[in-house]
């Protein structure tokens, strides 16, 4: 396995690849929460190496790129499904002005075949735009003609339903699935939630050992983030995701849904596997299941592992407060008792405050303190 991991180095470069530009043809957005789709047929076999959004978060809430064997229309369409008969795979996801993304060396996605004949960009427009606005947002798909040993894909955790009462600080929604498909190598992840989501995390359990795949605030730029290492998920493993919400800012019940007034609980795991196996990989986990880390049955794994970060933050905050109080005490003493604070003798010159190595800005601050005190 170590040879495999060394083979796929994290050389995230787009190089001189060609580009497929997918754009909306100047569509209008007269209502909130409109979902538009724009397709592009891939007529020749290509190998996708990366993506770059041509959109702004001020207009587009999020963008999903799908690979489809067939589509319901060759023209852009509003709402409805993405791929004909529901068949298709998620290739990439973007939100909050995330930067471009490139696969590692020796990894790509083959398109222009029966599995991915069409690329379909789905854009969610959060808010209505002015009547004269014509949107041309979309995505650039980087590709070349050279096949790679490994193919990339996305394993998706997605909550299909759930409700959260108002005024609650810590609300959790858990998803878990037994993994039965061929082995995958997870190298990046992305979280997605809405207004009340605070953290989304994922784990893998292998032979009783738990490893965190990733954990991130979904309110940050929704880019794919590299995992701390390449995590191999094999048949027999269990994969978990937890979404945490804070509804103290609302007085209504929040539900999982597709609008910006609803919530979402999505965790995307980007992986690579042998190209010959990519068509047989399980694509998503939607099963709700409450779970705990073995040995800590009285608390969820999130509380035991992730909230350890909170303990560290609390210690740091306490130290900052203590140092701040100490600094205020020193400054107060310096203001009211300047002679005893700065000098052993009241008439010593201000040059005694400085050493030859002192910073000039610091000198100016000390000089002003001296002038104020006398």
Q: Are 360 and 367 in contact (CB under 8 A)?
A: no
Token pair of 222, please? 């929704």
The reply to whether 372 belongs to the active site is: no
The residue whose two tokens read 């068949």 is 87
Catalytic residue among 34, 37, 62, 223: 62
The residue whose two tokens read 């993506």 is 51
Nearest alpha carbon to residue 17 among 115, 136, 103 = 103
Alpha helices for the chain (secondary structure H):
2-7, 301, 308-336, 338-342, 360-373
The reply to whether 264 belongs to the active site is: yes
The reply to whether 304 belongs to the active site is: no
The reply to whether 296 belongs to the active site is: no
Q: Are 119 and 20 in contact (CB under 8 A)?
A: yes
Count of CA atoms in the C-beta half-sphere (13 A) of 191: 24
Burial 179-199 (b: 16+ CB within 10 A, else e): beebbbbbbbbbbbbbebbeb
Catalytic residue among 24, 34, 194, 223: 194
Catalytic residue among 124, 172, 206, 304: 124
Q: Are 237 and 179 in contact (CB under 8 A)?
A: yes
Catalytic residue among 24, 34, 37, 61: 61
H/E stretch holding 197 reads strand 197-206
The reply to whether 62 belongs to the active site is: yes
Nearest alpha carbon to residue 28 among 87, 76, 68, 65 = 76
Euclidean distance between CA atoms 120 and 141, whole angstroms = 11
Residue 147 dihedral angles phi and psi, to the nearest 5°: -70, 155
Token pair of 296, please? 């800590």
Q: Any idea which residues carry the catalytic annotation? A: 61-62, 122, 124, 192, 194, 264
């Amino acid at each position: 396995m170590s040879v495999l991991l060394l083979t796929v180095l994290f050389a995230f470069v787009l190089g001189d690849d060609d580009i497929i530009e997918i754009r909306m043809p100047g569509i209008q957005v007269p209502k909130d929460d409109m979902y538009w789709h724009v397709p592009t047929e891939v007529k020749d076999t290509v190998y996708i190496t990366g993506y770059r959004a041509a959109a702004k978060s001020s207009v587009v809430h999020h963008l999903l790129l799908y690979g489809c064997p067939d589509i319901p229309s060759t023209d852009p369409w509003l709402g409805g499904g993405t791929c004909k008969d529901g068949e298709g795979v998620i290739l990439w996801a973007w939100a909050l002005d995330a930067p471009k993304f490139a696969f590692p060396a020796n990894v790509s996605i083959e398109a222009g075949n029966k599995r991915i004949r069409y690329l379909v960009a789905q854009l969610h427009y959060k808010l209505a735009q002015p009547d004269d606005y014509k949107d041309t947002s979309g995505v650039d798909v980087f590709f070349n003609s050279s096949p790679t040993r490994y193919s990339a894909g996305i394993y998706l955790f997605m909550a299909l339903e759930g409700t959260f009462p108002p005024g609650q600080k810590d609300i959790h929604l858990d998803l878990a699935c037994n993994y039965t498909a061929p082995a995958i190598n997870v190298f990046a992840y992305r979280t997605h939630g809405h207004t009340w989501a605070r953290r989304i995390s994922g784990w893998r359990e292998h032979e009783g050992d738990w490893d965190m795949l990733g954990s991130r605030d979904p309110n940050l730029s929704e880019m794919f983030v590299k995992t701390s290492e390449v995590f191999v998920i094999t048949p027999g493993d269990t994969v978990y995701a937890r979404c945490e919400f804070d509804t103290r800012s609302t007085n209504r019940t929040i539900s999982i849904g597709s609008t910006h007034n609803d919530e979402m609980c999505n965790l995307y795991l980007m992986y690579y596997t042998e190209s010959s196996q990519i068509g047989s990989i399980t694509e998503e986990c939607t099963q709700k299941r409450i779970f705990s880390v073995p040995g800590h049955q009285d608390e969820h794994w999130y509380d035991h592992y992730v909230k350890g970060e909170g303990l560290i933050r609390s210690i740091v905050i306490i130290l900052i407060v203590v140092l701040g109080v100490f600094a205020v005490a020193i400054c107060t003493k310096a203001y009211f008792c300047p002679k005893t604070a700065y000098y052993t003798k009241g008439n010593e010159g201000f040059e005694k405050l400085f050493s030859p190595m002192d910073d000039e800005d610091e000198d100016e601050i000390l000089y002003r303190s001296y002038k104020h005190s006398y």
